[in-house]
A = this chain, B = another copy of it.
Amino acid sequence: MPQLRKDPVTHEWVVIATGRGKRPSDFSSANNEDVTLRPQHIEKCPFCHGNESQTPPEVLAYRDPGTRPDTAGWWVRVVSNKFPALAIEGELDREGVGMYDYMNGVGAHEVIIETTDHNRCIATVGRKQATEVFWAARQRIIDLSNDKRFKYVLLFRNHGKIAGASLEHPHSQLIALPMVPKDISEEMRGVERFYEYHDRCIYCDMIRQERHFGKRVIEENDQFIAFEPFAPKFPFETWVLPKEHRASLTEEDPAAVSKFAEIVQNVLRRIGKCLNYPPYNYTLHTAPVNLERDPHPYFHYHLEIMPRLTIAAGFEMGTGVYINVTSPEDAAEHLRAVDISDMDSPVESTIITHA
């Protein structure tokens, strides 16, 4: 019998309908791609090494001492998006026309180029490189948060065409928004509601319950845990959370960011091996910024990794309720069983050895 499960934070219902009995191999499709089979360098790729003049100027780069901005010699590079969804210059200029409200699309839209190599990705680069990618994201979130016009900074990654990646070269993105977006407002409402009643963080409780139950946990290290949420919208949806209460990635030190990179890489490697390298998105849910009330006590940051194995269609679009054909308990069992030890210590890129 299908089951309806309620997300304890947002109170959204999800349908867990496992009747079609999907195994991981049933999800394999033409949209999957093992990026290690690509060429290492593509002449026309604006994000490949040596093509720095094809992007907008860099806003941050980790590069060899003595190399000039927007030239070769970097290993992580952040640039403005060439086709930004929001414009960095300008005032908000709120206005109403009859019953309608609008404002200028002020914000920031940046691209984090994660490696010089076209044939690697955040899952397969070395640990040091992955740590520096997240450290760069952390640095940009802090910097963008200093702009008082912004209320939220989102880090996200689109991997594969079907997951919305318009350029192949491994990259993630940052968007700063002038308002707290809908899904985060709802999450904030959920965590505040719980905090007011229990005087505890709901995610801290969730971690305790998941560790006790065990069947949805994928893995943990001394600082982070990865599990399938109780009411996942998507098959093999996986969350990564710090085990100690933290509201934002910006609160973490380099050692913690390295541990975060480790568990994220491990989960992505498990998903890749288990599901034949599917497209996916991940989004970092972190506390809003520049609020009047400090969200630290009740918000708990986490990364949501969502493989794109099924299609949201009319039902999801008309209700906001998702049908998930794989239970999180089954997904966790499959992901735990994956042996990723052969992917453990990939060679660091030649560039990073200069750092």
Binding site for B on A (CB under 8 A): 1-6, 8, 12-13, 15-17, 19-20, 83-87, 90, 98-105, 107, 152, 154, 156-158, 162-165, 173, 175, 177-179, 181-184, 186, 202, 205-206, 209, 213, 230-231, 281-285, 304, 306, 311-315, 317-321, 323
Contacts and interface: CB of A to CB of B under 8 A. Distances in A.
Instruction: Tell me which of A13, A17, A86, A154 has the highest count of chain B C-beta atoms within 10 A of its own C-beta.
Output: A13
Given A163-B311, A182-B12, A209 B83 contact: no
Leading 6 A-B pairs by shortest Cβ distance: A164-B313, A2-B105, A283-B318, A156-B314, A181-B319, A183-B320
B99 A202 contact: yes
Nearest to A281: B314
Given A4-B178, A152-B319, A154-B315, 7 more contacts: A6-B102, A12-B182, A15-B85, A15-B86, A165-B313, A182-B321, A281-B317
B105 A3 contact: yes
A152 B186 CA distance: 22
A85 B320 contact: no
A37 to B, nearest CB: 22
Contacts of A3: 102-105
